[in-house]
Chains A and B, each alone.
Chain A
Amino acid sequence: MKSRTLEHLLSIVLVGLLFAALLTWYNEGREREVSAREEAVHPYLAMDSVDFSDAYHRVLFRETVEAFYPSRDGLGDSLLASIDAYRMERFTRAEYKSGVSNVLTMDDLLRLSAMYAQFIVVFLCALVLTSMGGRALAIYRFVEAKQGAGTSGIRFLRRLLQLRAGSPLRALVVVVQGILLLAAIAVLYSPAYVVAYALKGRLDLSSVVFLLLLAVLTNGALVNYAARYALLLAAASREGFVDTAVAKNLSTDWRWSATSGIPLRALLAPGRAAPGHVFHHIALQAEFQHRSSLKEHAAFLITGLIIIEMALNIQGHLGYDLLQNILYRRYDIVAAILFGMFLLVKVTALIIDVRSGREERRFANVT
């Protein structure tokens, strides 16, 4: 456990140092490049009598330079090209246009911190909601499978087949159910930007609640989590301890809310809801095995959130700011944002590892 914690901390320190070194190297190189170019063109730009936008003055300038340096062919042309490039950049480069320096300032850090705090809050809410929702969905599907009911799609098709002529109301109900099922599947598996653009103009896309809903329901986050958990439940149900539990007369009644069955609250608290049922032990085993894969889920959620923020182009969000700063080549801010995200993944992984380590020790009876 200690080695894992140490590894996380070490990688945070090393990556932090790497970012700092890269940034210093980039900034120094850039400053050198800019000052060398400015030094080369400044003396000429300081000549008030020459107007570089005037064709006559340009020819005069080139011929004068060539007369002064007859041994250096083409110096006049290359100087004019450098002067033109410099003057052009005064209009096109973001830092010249906005008048802001290209170094990370305190204001930048404060602005980023506010966005980062919002990002963390949304991420934590999404993590809790997807893990609870995904787990409930997985348990529901697992219990339904144990009841022999089949998947929702198969059940719907069976219901469709059982329709008889002369029952229009039932047919309508089945059709509506089918449409709702299709819509739910479309939302759950769609990338967030498809859903967001479909709803553009009807909802406030910049609201945090909408962002959270997209993060939880789309990108396959919920269904992927549910599928992984369901597979663990299925694998745990095939283990030998289940036979032992059955031999010890634990309940195997898979009906919902029956006296010896599974209470509905097991969907939210599987480890506590049905102590006399074999499901209790299956759920405990699945929960224990699932802990470590929570790290992957957390990283995937962060990826999803960044995609949503970037794709929706909402100002004031970290993902949007990251993309804009890449575009304007403000790599100091880009590095700060990237390091913040790396830190979030690492801290989440560290917390999950510490919790899993404790659980492992408890299961192994190590104090």
Chain B
Amino acid sequence: MSRERVGARTSRVLEIASARPDISWLVLWIAGLGILLLWDLFFLNAPALDRFINALANTMLAGFLVVAFSLLLGWLSGIWLFMTERRGLRTGYLLGSFLLNLVRSVPQIVGMLAGYVVLTLFIERNSGLNASTILCWMSLITTCVVFYDVTDLIRSRIAQFAALDFYPAMLCSGVRESRIINIEILWKNSRAHLLQVMIGVFGMAVFLQCSIDFVLSVGLSTDVSATNFPVTLGSLLATMDSKQDILAIGTVMTSPGYLPQLFTTHLQGVSVASAITFTLLCIHNIGNGFVRRHRL
């Protein structure tokens, strides 16, 4: 194939990538993680590979659980606030809005830390908790500090439609209020907006989960440490082996000849750090691309 034809085809691919940036970044994310796993399959030792796959799966699973929990909690709280305000239940509205603003005012990592302290105490008293249950609790804690983005979106979407003739017209036609809100406004007219917020929530969940697990590697109690929690990318990065591997990245700046060894000798830490950074980069761009494509 001639050079010109290759160039033309690549230009065409770039054009498609520019037109659908979210899809392109999604494909790139999956392909990138696939290539990373394939490389690790050949060059990373079996126990480390098992840990890495386990950590990656747990982190992604926790992220998706946070998305599901946030959607549920955000949807319920958004509707609660709208309905209490609309029906003049001032105490219910003020209480809900006060609690929501309170959650918003607590730095997310501090909220998660408080949740982990409680979870640690809980594990101390119930040593029989399995890894999946703990992962669900961890996701629920993360949900508590990120769900308000969904609540805000749901409130703004309902408010926007409630201000139009559309809303009273449907009420006059005998359509139930719950159907107007849940089906007509949120499901039929806000799916793209919700998906965009979900993408953001997923990115934030991965970032916070990895950060808290890395930070808590010192342990919150003498009886319970990070080893009692399911392994995630953050806690795997906090192990001594991975930290040594990351230190080696700095060595490359002064001795560039050391670069090839990063991808063979220091693979565990480099793989974990790459997976976290690459995921955050791709999720950020998927979210932005989605907003651009749908003009949200």
Query: Which of B68-76, B178-186, B187-195, B249-257 interfaces with chain A?
Result: B249-257
Instruction: Give the most central of B102, B107, B219: most A CB within 10 Å.
Output: B107
A133 to B137 alpha-carbon distance, docked (Å): 38
CB distance from B15 to the nearest CB of A (A): 9
Interface residues of A in 60-109 (CB under 8 A from B): 92
**Interface residue from B11, B105, B207, B243 paired with A197 (Cβ < 8 Å):** B243
**Interface residue from B219, B237, B254 paired with A194 (Cβ < 8 Å):** B237
CB distance from B155 to the nearest CB of A (A): 14
**Interface residue from B11, B243, B295 paired with A238 (Cβ < 8 Å):** B295
The proximity string for A residues 303-339 relative to B, scoring 1 for CB distances below 8 Å and 0 otherwise, is 1001100110100000000110011000000000010
Q: Say yes or no: B102 contacts A191, CB within 8 Å.
A: no
Q: Say yes or no: A327 contacts B219, CB within 8 Å.
A: yes
**Interface residue from B10, B102, B117, B254 paired with A161 (Cβ < 8 Å):** B10
Q: Is B246 an interface residue (CB 8 A)?
A: yes
Q: Is B104 an interface residue (CB 8 A)?
A: yes
| Known contacts A220-B207, A307-B109: A186-B101 contact under CB 8 Å | no
Q: Say yes or no: B110 contacts A338, CB within 8 Å.
A: yes
The proximity string for B residues 271-294 relative to A, scoring 1 for CB distances below 8 Å and 0 otherwise, is 001001100110010001001100
Complex contacts, A219 vs chain B, CB 8 Å: 207
| Known contacts A200-B247, A201-B250: A224-B292 contact under CB 8 Å | no
| Known contacts A306-B107, A306-B109: A227-B98 contact under CB 8 Å | no
**Interface residue from A151, A191, A327 paired with B211 (Cβ < 8 Å):** A191
Q: Say yes or no: A346 contacts B113, CB within 8 Å.
A: no
Q: Is B48 an interface residue (CB 8 A)?
A: no
Q: Say yes or no: A189 contacts B107, CB within 8 Å.
A: no
Complex contacts, A186 vs chain B, CB 8 Å: 277
Q: Say yes or no: B221 contacts A303, CB within 8 Å.
A: no
Interface residues of A in 1-17 (CB under 8 A from B): 7, 10-11, 15
Q: Say yes or no: A307 contacts B105, CB within 8 Å.
A: no
Nearest B residue (CB) for A10: B98
Instruction: Give the most central of A158, A300, A307: most B CB within 10 Å.
Output: A307
Q: Say yes or no: B101 contacts A11, CB within 8 Å.
A: yes
Chain A count of residues within 8 A CB distance of the other chain: 52
Q: Say yes or no: B273 contacts A303, CB within 8 Å.
A: no
Q: Is A129 an interface residue (CB 8 A)?
A: no
A245 to B215 alpha-carbon distance, docked (Å): 52
A310 to B116 alpha-carbon distance, docked (Å): 15
Interface residues of A in 182-207 (CB under 8 A from B): 185-186, 189-191, 193-194, 197-202
The interface size bin for chain B is 35 or more
Q: Say yes or no: B211 contacts A307, CB within 8 Å.
A: yes
Complex contacts, B247 vs chain A, CB 8 Å: 197-198, 200-201
| Known contacts A231-B288, A307-B215, A323-B215: A194-B104 contact under CB 8 Å | no
Q: Say yes or no: A311 contacts B246, CB within 8 Å.
A: no
Q: Is A29 an interface residue (CB 8 A)?
A: no
CB distance from B254 to the nearest CB of A (A): 7
Complex contacts, B215 vs chain A, CB 8 Å: 193, 307, 310-311, 323
**Interface residue from A194, A227, A307, A310 paired with B277 (Cβ < 8 Å):** A194
CB distance from A330 to the nearest CB of B (A): 13
A-B contact count (CB 8 A): 123
Q: Say yes or no: B98 contacts A7, CB within 8 Å.
A: yes
Q: Say yes or no: A154 contacts B110, CB within 8 Å.
A: no
Complex contacts, B14 vs chain A, CB 8 Å: 154, 157-158
A150 to B237 alpha-carbon distance, docked (Å): 35
A235 to B296 alpha-carbon distance, docked (Å): 8
A219 to B277 alpha-carbon distance, docked (Å): 9
Question: What's the dominant secondary structure at chain B's contact region?
Answer: helix
A238 to B250 alpha-carbon distance, docked (Å): 45
| Known contacts A7-B98, A198-B250, A307-B211: A327-B276 contact under CB 8 Å | no
Instruction: Give the most central of B102, B110, B218: most A CB within 10 Å.
Output: B110
Q: Say yes or no: B281 contacts A327, CB within 8 Å.
A: no
The proximity string for B residues 193-223 relative to A, scoring 1 for CB distances below 8 Å and 0 otherwise, is 0000000000000011011001100111110
Q: Say yes or no: B253 contacts A224, CB within 8 Å.
A: no
Q: Is A349 an interface residue (CB 8 A)?
A: yes
Interface residues of A in 255-313 (CB under 8 A from B): 299-300, 302-303, 306-307, 310-311, 313
Interface residues of B in 227-264 (CB under 8 A from A): 237, 243, 246-247, 249-250, 253-254
Nearest B residue (CB) for A158: B14
Q: Is A140 an interface residue (CB 8 A)?
A: no
Chain A residues engaging chain B, CB cutoff 8 angstroms: 7, 10-11, 15, 92, 150-151, 154, 157-158, 161, 185-186, 189-191, 193-194, 197-202, 219-220, 223-224, 227, 231, 234-235, 238, 299-300, 302-303, 306-307, 310-311, 313, 322-323, 326-327, 338, 341-342, 345-346, 349
Closest 4 CB pairs of A and B: A198-B249, A189-B281, A197-B246, A310-B215
Beyond the given A189-B280, A311-B214, A342-B110, could you list 12 further A-B residue pairs with CB under 8 A, ordered by the A residue number?
A154-B17, A157-B14, A190-B273, A190-B280, A194-B237, A197-B247, A201-B250, A227-B284, A311-B211, A311-B215, A326-B113, A341-B107
- 28 interchain pairs (CB within 8 A)? A7-B98, A10-B98, A157-B10, A157-B14, A161-B11, A185-B281, A186-B277, A189-B284, A191-B210, A191-B211, A191-B277, A191-B280, A193-B214, A193-B237, A194-B246, A197-B247, A199-B250, A200-B250, A201-B250, A223-B284, A238-B295, A299-B104, A303-B208, A306-B107, A311-B215, A338-B110, A341-B106, A345-B105
